[in-house]
Amino acid sequence: MEILLNSLAATATVTTPILLAAMGGLINRQGGIVNIGLEAKMLAGAFVAVLVAWQTGNLWLGVIAAVAAGALVGLAFSLVVTRLGANEIIAGLGLNVLMIGLIGYLLPVVFDVRGTLRPPGLPRLPKLELPLIHDIPVLGPIVSGKDPLTYLSWLSVPLVAWFLYRTVWGLRLRASGTDLEAARAAGLNALGWRDASTVIAGAFAGLAGAQLSIGIVALFAVGMTAGRGFIALAAFYFGSARPWPTAGAALLFGFFTAAQARVQGLGVPVQLVQVIPYLAVVVVLTLIAVRRSRRRGQEAWAAT
């Protein structure tokens, strides 16, 4: 029971980078692009957040810089896809490899460190204690005492839903993602909206990276994203690129990620513990595929 409670208490914080990246990814998917490069944008955001916060002494400037870095990387990725006609899957995978290599090169050449940049005296984002809720048993540790970006990530879910389904901008973005030629015929700058959706996805992923580097820890490590960009991809795939189901999937994957560290104390082999979040992703995606296959079979049977 203690392991379960500890895992639940850590779930919100651990879910945050997955949820933020997934919100950006689903906007991008609604805009017509499957963003495989979320991992690269998270890594860029994490690196820039530490660098700017370290040099300026201001954590919030680091957060803003991380959002800008993710958005710029997103724009570069989008232009390669929408203007040069590159395959979005290949471009996204290439971007992930490029970002790891670029930052891996900069760390020893510019900062004389390898793999990890740990600036002296760099603080983490503050924890917010929620009045009244903080002292409630069980619920208090789960909900209260998180960094501001964690609360912002959950606020982003209804905001993204409102943007996509209640605004003209969201309608235009979804129209551009659904049918490029029809959107053009309706007078929309369809490629521009696709670019905008990718920039938004990059900004979300950059924010996710900032939460990793100056929210959870106060350092940057080349491997700190640890596949969270791909888990975010699985989350919005699970949620059919809809905000609330995507948030539920991100929470599920976040829980398994949080439980990973707690289970390790039970004497379970570390190699097995490390695959728990990814095993959960595989199981969930398999169940989705089975469910959709059965649904198609039932529809085909009803049609006959």
Contact (Cβ atoms closer than 8 angstroms) between residue 224 and residue 40: no
> In the prediction, which pLDDT does 287 show?
76
Q: Across the chain, what does the average pLDDT equal? A: 88
Average of per-residue pLDDT across 51-77: 95
> In the prediction, which pLDDT does 268 show?
60
Give percent above pLDDT 90 in the chain: 60
Q: What is the pTM of this model?
A: 0.89
pLDDT in tens, 137-189: 777 777 888 999 999 999 999 999 999 999 999 999 999 999 888 899 888 99
> In the prediction, which pLDDT does 2 show?
59
| pLDDT category of residue 303 using cuts at 50, 70 and 90 | low
> In the prediction, which pLDDT does 269 show?
60
- Secondary structure percentages of the chain, helix, strand, coil, to 5: 75, 0, 20
> In the prediction, which pLDDT does 283 show?
77
For 213-228, give one letter per residue: b (16+ CB within 10 A) or e.
bbbbebbbbbebbbeb
> In the prediction, which pLDDT does 191 show?
94
Looking at the predicted structure, is the pLDDT value of residue 206 above 90? Answer: yes
Domain 2-303 - what CATH class? mainly alpha
Domain residue ranges in the chain = 2-303
The residue with greater pLDDT, 259 or 152, is 152
The residue with greater pLDDT, 76 or 128, is 76
CA nearest neighbour of 41 among 68, 60, 13, 59: 68
> In the prediction, which pLDDT does 5 show?
67
> In the prediction, which pLDDT does 267 show?
63
CA nearest neighbour of 43 among 96, 92, 110: 96
The residue with greater pLDDT, 204 or 264, is 204
Average of per-residue pLDDT across 283-296: 75
